[in-house]
């Protein structure tokens, strides 16, 4: 009888196990993306967002930032993607799941 109670208790506790959130990639926030401007150098972009998680070996002018969260509490997973296009070492365009900043076209060179 004691072993049955112990087994039942162990199973009950096992079903209540806490699952952690799994985070992968570059953590990207809208407030940081809002700092991006056309004609920023790769060094300036890396200072704002960090180095990209993926640099295309065949196309040095494209940087990819990815961030994925798998929540342990059952919420839907979250994925953020950001692709930056450079030309002559200067930021020219961006697209992704975060909207382009309102002042993106206002170059820092002004």
Domain boundaries, the chain: 20-96
CATH 3.30.1450 fits 20-96, yes or no: yes
Residue by residue, pLDDT tens for the chain (110 residues) are 777 777 676 666 666 667 787 878 888 889 999 999 999 999 999 999 999 987 778 888 999 999 898 888 888 988 989 999 999 999 999 999 988 988 888 877 65
> Does an H or E element contain 108, and which?
none
Q: What's the number of CA atoms in the CB half-sphere (13 Å) around residue 18?
A: 2
**Distance between CA 104 and CA 94 in Å, rounded?**
9
The DSSP string of 65-93 is: EEEEEE-TTSPPPEEEEEEEEEETTEEEE
Q: Which of 68, 56, 65 is nearest to 22 (CA)?
A: 68
pTM here? 0.74
């Amino acid at each position: 009888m004691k072993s049955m109670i112990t087994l039942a208790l162990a199973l009950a506790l096992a079903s209540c196990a806490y699952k952690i959130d799994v985070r992968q990639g570059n953590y990207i926030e809208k407030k940081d993306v809002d700092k991006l401007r056309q004609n920023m150098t790769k060094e300036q972009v890396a200072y704002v967002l960090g180095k990209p998680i993926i640099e295309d070996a065949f196309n040095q002018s494209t940087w990819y930032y990815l961030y994925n969260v798998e929540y342990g509490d059952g919420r839907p997973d979250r994925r953020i993607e950001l692709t930056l296009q450079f030309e002559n070492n200067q930021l020219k365009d961006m697209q992704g799941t975060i909207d382009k900043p309102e002042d993106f076209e206002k170059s820092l060179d002004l």
